Amino acid sequence: MNEATFLIKDVRARMVDVPLARPIVTASGTIPSAPLLLIDLETSWGVTGRSYIFGYTPVTLRPMLELITNLAELLRGKTVSPVERMREFENTFRLLGRQGLLGMVISGLDMAIWDALACAYELSLAQLLGGQDIPIPAYDSYGIIDPKRYGPELERSLKQGFRAIKIKVGGGDLKNDRETVAAVRDIVGRDTRLMLDYNQSLTVPEAVRRINCLAEHDLQWVEEPVPAEDLIGHAAIRNACTVPIQTGENWWFPEDISRAISARSSDFAMLDIMKIGGVTGWLRAAGQAEGASMPVSSHIFVEASAHVLAVTPTAHFLEHLDKARAILGDPIKVEDGMVRPRGPGLGINWDESAIARYSL
């Protein structure tokens, strides 16, 4: 194959709002459904690269759709070379910066380019990157829950083989957190790892108070107790608590993990492939995490995350929060609490009838 003839012909995107099996209740609000932007990158070899990005709220989808329409002008006729295309994005938007919706769109395009490249060679992305399609340990991810109501679901997670569970807290006072965590620990048992996520809802003193009170429940980590950008605050909490601190899902591109490592703000790294810079950004960030001996977990995007975790030296956990299941032809499967990357490419195939049903 002559890679010089492997060109990007066009990029198109579609908006959908996908129902969730269980709405995500957080201390910062409730996410009742998954607003997604589906990306199709057409190439001169007849291969289509696919990816999706998560808008958090439907109001973000149309602006991102417009961004992709405009960025397609930069991509048409260019080679399917993700590192070169990312370098081009970096140069084009150096003065503006790449955070926010623009960064999410750039990451989504990067994933679609990598998907097309792997599909062209009939390899999974993990294989294209030099790895294998190895199973990745996953944890089942819940929002703020009532343990009495969700007891059967938690038990179902255990029967699926999950050996780790995450719940969100912070919707009430410390007493409510203690009662919830104690009840969940009783349901899942001491052999199951338990993680908590405060979704940036606390102050530093309150975070220290609550985390130290909850430490008796043998927590794997507490996630984003204070605003994500408060690296100094996270470092202070780390120093004051025995429970490990997890951050990273709101780091923008590999530069942010550099800042977090320098600030000693986290025990772990939780990378969001849509914010860290797609596959290209993830690989750069994973190298830094290895240098700092930081275990790396993923934030949502189970399909793509399984592939990049398979080649991440300090891979830890994959978050099982399956937002795109309803519009995929062959959704990801959990086997004995693990998720295995599947090809070709990212292993994403659309269910067109479902897309028509949930289209915006």
Beta-carbon count within 10 A of 314 CB: 17
State yes or no: cis peptide before 344, omega within 30 of 0.
yes
State both tokens at 159. Answer: 């029967």
Q: Which helix (H) or strand (E) holds 164?
A: strand 164-168
Q: Is the separation of the CB atoms in 360 and 138 below 8 Å?
A: no
**Chain mean position to CA 342:** 17
H helix runs in the chain, sequence order: 61-75, 82-92, 100-120, 125-128, 147-159, 174-188, 204-214, 231-240, 253-263, 278-291, 302-309, 352-358
Could you give the CA distance from residue 258 to residue 254 in angstroms, rounded to a whole number?
A: 7
168 a catalytic residue = yes
Of 166, 168, 234, 316, which is the active-site residue?
Answer: 168
Of 299, 307, 316, 323, which is the active-site residue?
Answer: 299
Could you give the CA distance from residue 282 to residue 274 in angstroms, rounded to a whole number?
A: 9
| Residues designated catalytic | 168, 299
